Structures are given as structure tokens and as C-alpha cells.
Amino acid sequence: MYPVLIIRSAAPEDDISVTALWRACDLATHYNDPIKDFHFALSQSNSDVLVGESADAKIIGSVMVEHDGHRGWIYYVAADPDFRKQGIGSKMVEAAEQWLQKRNIVKVMLLVRETNTQIIDFYNHIGFESIPRIVMQKWLQSKE
């Protein structure tokens, strides 16, 4: 049976629960502070963290969403490991897409780490496609 999922914008006091979910889903890395990412997203007008709560108010899904005025980006798509394969990830992505559409953003992007290839089938299944691009980066501070 699929869980009831109530989707809402995260509140600052959700930081511990949400980042614990990200860690449980192996989404946190040593060079990104998830608490900092969470609060930064909540502090900007062009970003948000959406959470999915079960009927008993436990956070079992999340997605971070932002836009640059042209394209949207989603990050930290998470479904509690105890509730996988129950549509939570799809519902969280759909909520992020709706958030972007309300802001007249017509394209959504995401990045998948090469160490997380098992998720590619999920994203293909919900309509995402790989595009031929090279992503480049430059660290402006030490990543340690």
C-alpha cells in the first residue's frame, strides 16, 4: 500500500530530519554541508526545499528546487529507504516541477553523480533524458 504523502515547503526546524534523510539516502558528500545547503535554499526567493510527510508527520521524502530565471534545477531527491518503490521519489520530483511551473520555468535539469548510476533508470522512467553536455567546475575554496 502506498503511504499518504503530504507535500509542503520545509521549515527551518526541519533541517535535522531532512538532512538525516539525505544521509540515509547517501546524498550527502564530504565537500557539501547539507545543513548549510538546506538553510541556504530556504533563505533564497528562487529556491526551496519541499518535504513529503507520512500521515504520522514523519518526513519520508524531499527535493531541493531552484531556478536561475531560465532553467530549474533539482537536488537531493530522497525517499526514505523504508518506503522505496512506493512512488515517493516521483511525487517529490513532480512537486518540484509544479513549483517551477508556477514561476514560469519551462525546463528542469538535474545532475547524477557517476557513482549513483542506479538512479538513472528512475529518472528515465519519469521522463528525464540524458543530454550531451560536459559539466565543468572550478573550486573557489578548498573542498576540505
Mean pLDDT of 8-16: 98
What does the alpha-carbon distance between residue 25 and residue 79 come to, in Å, rounded to a whole number? 7
The mean pLDDT of the chain is: 91
Is the pLDDT confidence value at 134 over 70?
yes
Query: What pLDDT score was predicted for residue 1?
Result: 53
Is the pLDDT confidence value at 84 over 90?
no
Query: What pLDDT score was predicted for residue 119?
Result: 85
Task: From residue 4, give the alpha-carbon distance in Å to each of 1, 42, 55.
Answer: 9, 25, 6
Is the pLDDT confidence value at 142 over 90?
no
Contact 81, 21 (CB under 8 A): no
Domain 6-125: which CATH number of 3.40.50.300, 3.40.190.10, 3.40.630.30, 1.10.3720.10: 3.40.630.30
Sequence ranges of the domains in the chain:
6-125
Contact 22, 28 (CB under 8 A): yes
CB atoms within 10 A of CB 41: 19
What does the alpha-carbon distance between residue 69 and residue 47 come to, in Å, rounded to a whole number? 11
pTM for this prediction: 0.89
Query: What pLDDT score was predicted for residue 123?
Result: 87
